[in-house]
Chain A
Amino acid sequence: MKVSYQWLNEWVDLSGFNSPQQLADLLTARGLEVEDVRRQDQGFEKVITVQIINKQKHPEADRLSLCTVNPGSGEYLEIVCGAQNMKIGDIVCLAQIGALLPNGLKIEKSKIRGVVSNGMLCSETELGLKKESDGILILPEKTPLGWKLSDVFGLDDTVLEIKLTANRGDCLSHRGIAREVAAAIGKELKAPTVKELTFANSPIKVELQAGADAPQFYGCYIDHIKVGPSPKWLKTRLETIGQRSINNIVDVSNFLMFEFGYPVHIYDADKIEGGVIRVRKSEKGEKLPLLDGGEVETTGEELVIADAKKAIGLAGVMGGGNSEVSDATTRVFLECAEFNPTLVRRAAFRTGRRSEASLRFEKGIDPTGLKLAIARLAALVLKVASPDLEAKVIGAAEAVQATAHPKKTIQTSVATINQQLGTTLSTEKITTILKNLECEIETTGESFKITPPSYRLDLAISQDIAEEVARTIGYEAIPSTIPVLTGMPRSEKNDPVFHRLSTIDRMKDILMEQGLSEIISYAFHSDPWLQKFGMKSTVKVLNPISEDQSCMVPSLLPGIMKAYQENERHHFGSEPLPVRLFELRPVFDYRGTSAIEAKGESDTGVTEQWRVSFLISGPRFDQALKAERGEVDFFDAKAIVETLFDTLATKGIRMRAATSELLGGAASLFHSGQSIQVAAGKEGVGFFGRIHPKLESELKLRNPVFWGEFNIEPVIGLTPMKERSFCAWSTFPTMERDFALLVSDSVSADHLIQSALKNGKPIAKVVKIFDTYKGAHIPEGKVSIGVRVIFSDAAKSLEEKQIDQCSELIVKKWQDEFQAVLR
C-alpha cells in the first residue's frame, strides 16, 4: 500500500522524525515492512520546462525532428526528437544531460544520425506519470520556463510503499498507519472532527436480509450535488498514492477508503427504484451490469445490494452500472456497510474483480466505526461536490443486527507472555505497551484480561498479545538462547527412516563418484513431450502456468533427456560431448477409477515412487588424446549399475538380458539387444541399456545414449542396515586354468559362468570371461570365448590332480549343456 507522508502527517505529528526513511525504519521494525521510500521529485531533478523556438526535419532522418528550445535563459539548445505532436511555441519538458528518469533511463549527450542532441523531450510515460502516452507532454501555455518539473507540478511529498501482511487489514488506510505510528511514538492521533449524522428521514430505506452475512448498513441521502472535477487537494492526495482522479464523487469515496479504511459506495439516488435498498443473497441467474461496463450473472451465493426491483451492486466488490453516478446526477445515496469477508472474497475471485474495496472487506473492517465513516463521507461530499453550497443531507438510514459488535477478551498473564518470549518484562512495562495499542486491560494479580481495540481483528489469543509486546520492545531486545535438549535424541541405529535417507545419500555419492552430475528437473512436462516416450501422465495439474508444465512425470526419462538435449544444444565442438547425468526423485502415478480427490485428511490416492535415473553418452574419458578417449558403450553403463549396487552391498540384485517381453512397456525405449533388467530379490526394479534406435532418431540424438532407471525402495529394503562384518580370505595360493571354447553365439556368457561355478564346487571360486573373438578361423554363428577359472580352498593347498579332475567336469558340462568345443 502506498502512503503519503504529508497525508499521514495530518493524522499524526511526524515532526519528531528526521526523515521519511526514519519513519520507514520504525514501521519495518514493527512488522509493517516498508519496501520503498520515494520522494516524488525523484527522477525529475534534471527535468526542466523549455519552449520550442524552432522545429525542422532532421537532415538525415524523416521521422525525427530537430528542435531548438529555450530554457528561459536564452541559451538555446538543439534537441533531436522522435515525436511529432509539438509545434513551435509549445512548452515542453526537457530531460537535461545527466538526468536519470523515473523509468531508469539515463540521459547522455549523444549523436543521433549525425546530429548532437543536448537532452530529451519527455513523454508522460518516460516521466513515469502514465503507463501509456502519445507523443511528448505539452504543458499549459503560461508555464514558466526553466523551472524544475517538480516545482511546476508541486511534487514535494514522499511516498512510502508498505508491504502489509495478511493479518493487518486495520492498517490499510492512512488512519490505520497513523495509529501504529502514534502507538509507537506515544503521540495522540489527530482525527478530524466529524459532525454526526441523525439517522432519520432518509427517502431510501435500508433492509438487511442476509442475516449475519451483512450485519450493518449505513446510508445517507444528499440532494443538490454537482458532479465535476475534483478540487486540486483531492486530486493531489489520490494521485500521490497512485490513484487516478475520475470525478469529485468517485474521488471522494476513494479518498475515504484510503483515509479511514472503509470501502464505501455512492449511488445515483434517482436510479434506486422503490425507495428501498436491500442487502440480500443473490438469486441464481440474476444479471447485474457493473461499473466497469461488464456484466455478471449471479450464482445465488454472493451478496448483492438491490432496490425494490433489481440488483444494483455486487456487495463489497463493485457497484452496479444501473445505479452509477453520472455527470447529470444531482441526488446521491451513500453506503457504508459490513459484509461477510468470505462471501466478498469468493465473489471477487469468481467474477475476477478483486479490488481495493474487496481486499479490505476480505481482511475485515472495524465493525464499530461505520457510523463515523459515513458521516465523514457525507461531510466530504458536501465539501467537494457543492460549488454553490446548495447541497444538503436530506436524511440518513441505519440498519444494524444485534450481533454486529462482537467483543472478545483474551486471558493471559505476565508469566505466560514472558515464557513465550523468553523475557523478564515487568507487569508495568507490558501494561504500558498494551495501553498504547488501545487495549483495555483488567489486571488481577499477575493475570490479564485484555480487550483489544475493535479494529484489531487479528488479536485473539495470548500469543497475539506476546507478539504485540515483542514488536513494541523490538525483536532485537529478545534474548538469544539455545533450547535444552530433552529426552534422548533419536537413535540412528535400526531406524528405517534414517536408513532410507542415508541410503539415498549414498546412492547419490556413488553416482557422483562414477563421474555423473546430479540434475534437478521439473516434475512436470507437456503431454506431447511425454508422448514422445510413449508415456501418459495420470496426474495432471489443473491450473498449470503453461501446458509445458501440466503433466506430472511418470518417469524420470523425459526430464533427463531434456537436460541431455539442453547440453547438446550449446555444444558445437567436433568431438562428441560427454554427457553424464543422474537424478533421484519421485515419479507420480494414480490408479484410481474415479478422478483424483482427497480421501480423508491425509490421503490423495496418488502414488509417489522414488526412482534413480542416469544417462551417459560421449567420450569415456573426460580428457585424453582423441584416439584414447574412446566412447562409452553398453558396458560403461553396466559398470555404473554394478558399482552402485556393489558399493551399497545390496543383497539379491540380479541382472538378466532384457528381451522385448521382459521390457514390456519399455520396449520402445530400449535397444532390446543392449539392455538389462535389474531385479532386487524377486522384484523387477527397472532396466538400463541403450536408447532404442528408433527413439534415438526421433529425438535426433547425435551419439548413442545409454540410460537406466530404477525404483529405489526395493533396493533400499535389500541394502543392509548393519555395519559390514569382516570376511577372511584363504591364506593358500589360488590356481588358475584358462579355457578357449568355441560355442554358438546365442549362448550367453553368464550361462557358461554359472555352469562352471555350479559344477566346479567347492573349489572353483571365481569364473571370468577374459576374451571373446569372432572373425577369421571362427565359423559363422560361432564365437570363441576365453574363460578363466580360479580355484582355491580355504583350508589347504590344492593339488594339480584335484584341479584337473574338477576342470574335466566343468568342460564336460560345457560340452553337454552348450555343445561347447574346447579349442
Chain B
Amino acid sequence: MSDIQNQIAANGQAALSSVAAAQTLADLDHVRVTVLGKKGTLSEALKSLGQVPAEERPKLGALANEWKSKVESAIDARKVDLEAKQIELELVKTKLDVTLPSRKIHQGSLHPITQTVRKVSQVLGRIGFDVAVGPEIETDFLNFEAVNIPKDHPARDMQDTFFIGPGVVLRSQTSPVQMRAMRSQKWPVRILSPGVVYRCDSDATHSPMFHQIEGLWVDQKVSLADLKGVLDFFAKELFGSDTKIRLRPSYFPFVEPGAEVDVSCAICAGKNPTCSMCKGTGWLEILGAGMVHPRLFELAGYTPSEVSGFAFGMGVERIAMLLHDIPDLRLMFQGDQRFLKQF
C-alpha cells in the first residue's frame, strides 16, 4: 500500500469518527467542511493524486471517491439523527403543563323559564299553534269580564289581583291575549300565549310574578276529545312517551266543561309513597283546561253556534321545576348565577 493510500484511508476513518462524534448540526457542518470542503482532508487527498504515478491514479481516485461518498452518507444519516434530536430538544424546552387551566370564555345561559316556553311552543307549534303576546297591564274588562268573570263573581276569589287604577290591573292570567286575538281575527284561531302574570300571593310555592302559557284552539266542531288528544300529545312530547294524562272535572269560568289535568309521575310512577314529586299519588297536576265558554265567543264577536274550541293554561315555573328538578320557586327570580348557569 502506498502512503497516499494509507493516508486516504486514515483521513476517511478519522472523518467517520468525527461524524459519529458530532453532537450538533453545527459540529456536523464543521466536519463536512473540514473533510469535504475545498480544503478538506479528502479534497486535499484527491488534489495530491497529481503527484502519484499515472497508473495508480485511477485506483487511488476510486478509493478517495469511495471514502468521500461513505463520509457524505454518514453525514446525511447523522444529520437526520441530529435534526430529530434537536426537534426533540425543542419539544422538551417548550413543554407545557397541559393540566393548567384553559382561557375558557364565559358560558352564557338562557333562563329555564325561557327554555321551557321555547320547548312548549316548539312542541305545540308542530301541531299548528302560533305564539301571540300582549300587554302585562290590562283592563279589568279583558282580564276578567271578557273571560266570563263579571264583577262580584265568586270566581274572582280564585285569583287575587294587583290593581293599578280603576279598571286597570296587572293581568292575573294570559287569557286577555286570547280575547285580543279572537277580536282581531276570524276563526280558525290556534294560538299560544306565553307571558308574565301577577297575583297577590307570596310564599314558598307562590310568587307574586310568574309565567303562564295558555293555548286556544277555535274552529268548527272542536270537541273535548280533541282537547284530550292535544294534551296527551303535549305531555308525551314534553315528559316522555310513557307519560299518561288524567283529566278531572273542575271549574274555570271561561270554560265548560272544565278540567284539571294531571300527568303521570315520571319519577316513581306512583310506586313511592314518599316521592318528592307526586307524594305517592302517581300524578302531578300541571294544567287547567276546558271547552271555551260560549260567552267568550259572544264577547269576541263570533257566533257561538258556529264555533267551538278548547283552551288550556299552565304555570311555566311548575313545568320548568318538573323538567329540571328545581326545588324552590324563588330561585327563579333571584338572578343567582349559581342557579342560572346550571341550565
Contacts and interface: CB of A to CB of B under 8 A. Distances in A.
Interface of A: 28-31, 33, 165-169, 341-342, 345-346, 362-363, 419-423, 461, 463-464, 466-467, 470-471, 475-476, 478-487, 489-490, 497-498, 501, 505, 508-509, 511-524, 539-545, 549, 552, 559-560, 562-564, 566-567, 570, 578-581, 585-586, 588, 595-598, 600-606, 608, 621-625, 628-629
Nearest to A349: B152
B161 to A, nearest CB: 8
Given A467-B257, A523-B209, A578-B106, A602 B141 contact: yes
B111 A597 contact: no
A475 B259 contact: yes
Nearest to A362: B154
B239 interface: no
Contacts of B138: 604
Contacts of B114: 508, 518, 520
A419 B132 CA distance: 28
B255 to A, nearest CB: 9
Contacts of A30: 249
Please name the 8 residue pairs, one residue from A and one from B, whose CB atoms are nearest each other, closest first. A422-B225, A563-B335, A515-B106, A598-B167, A31-B249, A422-B223, A467-B257, A596-B165
B294 A461 contact: yes
Nearest to A550: B162
B291 interface: yes
Interface string B193-205: 0001010101000
13 contacts: A166-B251, A419-B221, A420-B308, A464-B256, A467-B256, A484-B219, A511-B108, A515-B108, A517-B337, A520-B113, A522-B208, A598-B167, A601-B146
Contact of A597 (B136, B167, B291): B167
A598 B103 contact: no
B251 A598 contact: no
Contacts of A476: 246-247
A603 B165 CA distance: 12
Nearest to A364: B154
Contacts of A29: 248-249
B250 A541 contact: no
Contact of B139 (A421, A475, A482, A598): A598
A105 B122 CA distance: 47
Contact of B293 (A463, A540, A580, A581): A463
B89 interface: no
Contacts of B335: 519, 521, 559-560, 562-564, 566-567, 581
A165 B251 contact: yes
A108 to B, nearest CB: 19
A604 B131 contact: no
B214 interface: no
Contacts of B133: 501
B258 interface: yes
A479 B247 CA distance: 12
A523 B110 CA distance: 19
B102 interface: yes
B105 A487 contact: no
A501 B131 contact: yes
B13 interface: no
A548 to B, nearest CB: 10
A136 to B, nearest CB: 31
A482 B108 contact: no
Given A483-B219, A588-B137, 9 more contacts: A470-B224, A480-B225, A481-B226, A560-B335, A588-B136, A604-B135, A604-B137, A606-B164, A608-B136
B168 A598 contact: yes
A451 to B, nearest CB: 19
A656 B128 CA distance: 45
B108 A517 contact: yes
B341 A470 contact: no
B108 A580 contact: yes
Interface stretch (B25-33, B45-53, B79-87, B227-235): B227-235
A167 to B, nearest CB: 5
Given A482-B229, A523-B196, A539-B137, A470 B249 contact: yes
Contacts of A606: 135, 137, 164, 168
Nearest to B111: A518
B237 interface: no
A623 B102 contact: yes
A579 B337 contact: yes
Interface residues of B, number: 92
Contacts of B132: 497
A233 to B, nearest CB: 33
A581 B110 CA distance: 10
Contacts of B228: 422, 475, 478-481
B188 interface: yes
Interface string B238-253: 0000000011111101
Interface string B323-343: 000000000111111101100
B271 interface: no
Contact of A423 (B220, B225, B233, B337): B225
A581 B198 CA distance: 24
Interface in B81-113: 100-111, 113
Nearest to B152: A342
A569 to B, nearest CB: 9
B180 interface: yes
Contacts of A515: 105-108
B230 A604 contact: no
A357 B167 CA distance: 29
Given A581-B335, A608-B135, A33 B164 contact: no
A621 B248 contact: no
A516 B340 CA distance: 10
B336 A566 contact: yes
A419 B108 contact: no
Interface string B284-297: 00000001011000
Contacts of B249: 29-31, 467, 470-471, 475
Contacts of A621: 103-106
Contacts of A566: 334-336
B130 to A, nearest CB: 5
Nearest to A549: B208
Contact of A483 (B141, B180, B230, B341): B230
B167 A166 contact: no
A420 B248 contact: no
B155 interface: yes
B247 to A, nearest CB: 4
A521 B333 contact: yes
A490 B107 CA distance: 35
A625 B110 contact: no
Nearest to A540: B164
B321 interface: no
Contact of A623 (B103, B118, B130, B209): B103
B251 A543 contact: no
A596 B168 contact: yes
A580 B153 CA distance: 46
A545 B188 contact: no
Contact of A622 (B105, B188, B224): B105
Contact of B140 (A509, A559, A598): A598
Contact of B157 (A166, A422, A524): A166
A505 B190 CA distance: 21
Given A363-B154, A518-B110, A578-B106, A598 B165 contact: yes
B251 A624 contact: no
B302 interface: no
A697 B188 CA distance: 57
B224 A608 contact: no
A168 B256 contact: no
A598 B190 CA distance: 28
Contacts of B146: 601
A518 B111 CA distance: 5
A345 B294 contact: no
Given A480-B228, A604-B139, A518 B294 contact: no
B170 A541 contact: yes
Most buried by A among B100, B106, B170, B209: B106
